[in-house]
Amino acid sequence: MSEIHGATGSYVVNALDPDELDEFEAHLAVCPTCQQEVVEFCETAAELSLMVPAPPPPPALREAVLSGIVGVRQLPPLPGPRQTASPADGPGEEQEDEPLPVPVARADDRVEERPVDELALRRSSRRLRLLTGLVAAVSVLALALGGVVYSLARQQQPPSAADRPAATAPQVDPSLLAAPDARIYSTSVNGAAASFVVSKRENRAAFVSTDLPSPGAGYVYHLWTLKGTKIVRPDNVLTGGGSATQVFSGPVNESTALAINIEPAGTSPQAPTSDPIAVQEI
């Protein structure tokens, strides 16, 4: 495979440097293999965006968006064969006022597969932006190492054998496992196999992992119970570094989900201060 094909991933996550971006886009316009991969990677990246919780949009944004489009001229459909559900409304002989370059290369005999247009809508301010980006990269380095890389480091614990049934670990109180409605929900925590063992009837639950990586110096794993989408209650904490188990104080019977995250040791947060690393509906 020639080297240029290998740029698909960086292209989709908008990480190509300007010179290579130009080169790759020229290649992309004529390479069906890369076009296909770019399409697939765009779908994948869209899922990736789910991974990290973020605050919801401010309520005022809706009104701003909806009033903002009033009077905004919509672009006419692109010419050419289309099989969409929306038939063209007319001959579409409008003036092209659209400033966006569209890759032109196409094989006329084939169903046209232009690479994802939006990625091709490239920026006029690219070079200026890159300059500021490089300055920023230096200033952010130390901060990133403290934050981003730290959180990544936590994920780097070697994955444990996923087929080890954590729920049979001896630490779990057998009477919980023996509850008539006991259920074992398998999950993973930072790459380690883990389980939530739940008996709603007995109002009991436990978290257990046979190979839980350390949460990092000065941090502990923190359990939470959730009720609906609003109520998050702090529960017990546990440390990692090998076999680990902890019971929930509950109330389990009125919880709808259990979760675990990482919190600074010695604190008693009333609400989570970091993203959940596992959530289990129960």
Among 23, 26, 30, 57, contact with other proteins (rule: CB under 8 A): 57
- Site track for other proteins across 175-214, x = CB under 8 A: --------xxxxxx--x-----------------------
Among 180, 229, 266, 268, contact with other proteins (rule: CB under 8 A): 229
Distance CA 190, CA 204 (A): 24
Among 83, 90, 217, 218, contact with other proteins (rule: CB under 8 A): 83
171 in Cβ contact with 146 (< 8 Å)? no
Shortest Å distance, C-beta 226 to other proteins: 6
Binding range to other proteins, per CB under 8 A, among 8-16, 166-174, 213-221, 237-245: 8-16
Q: Does 113 sit near other proteins (CB under 8 A)?
A: yes
Number of Cβ within 10 Å of residue 177's Cβ equals: 14
Among 32, 33, 68, 165, contact with other proteins (rule: CB under 8 A): 68
Among 108, 109, 118, 163, contact with other proteins (rule: CB under 8 A): 118
Q: Does 251 sit near other proteins (CB under 8 A)?
A: no
Write out the binding residues for other proteins, residues 34-53 only, by CB under 8 A.
36, 39-53
Among 77, 103, 216, 234, contact with other proteins (rule: CB under 8 A): 77
Among 143, 168, 175, 254, contact with other proteins (rule: CB under 8 A): 143
Among 108, 180, 217, 230, contact with other proteins (rule: CB under 8 A): 230
* Alpha helices (runs of H) in the chain, residue ranges in sequence order: 8-12, 18-28, 32-48, 59-68, 117-120, 126-146, 148-155, 174-177
Distance CA 21, CA 28 (A): 10
Distance CA 242, CA 205 (A): 20
Q: Tokens 């289309």 — which residue?
A: 82
Q: Tokens 């966006």 — which residue?
A: 100
Least Cα distance to 259 among 185, 199, 192, 203 occurs for: 185
210 in Cβ contact with 164 (< 8 Å)? yes
Q: Does 275 sit near other proteins (CB under 8 A)?
A: yes
Task: Tell me the CA distances in angstroms from 35 to 15, 112, 229, one per residue in order.
Answer: 17, 11, 40
User: Looking at this protein, which amino acid is placed at residue 125?
Assistant: S
User: Looking at this protein, which amino acid is placed at residue 175?
Assistant: S
Q: Does 3 sit near other proteins (CB under 8 A)?
A: yes
Question: Residues in contact with other proteins, total (CB under 8 A)?
Answer: 114
Shortest Å distance, C-beta 243 to other proteins: 20
Q: Does 257 sit near other proteins (CB under 8 A)?
A: yes
Shortest Å distance, C-beta 96 to other proteins: 12
State how far Cα 169 lies from the chain centre.
31
Bond from prior residue into 251 cis (ω within 30 degrees of 0): yes
Shortest Å distance, C-beta 39 to other proteins: 5
Among 146, 165, 241, 251, contact with other proteins (rule: CB under 8 A): 146
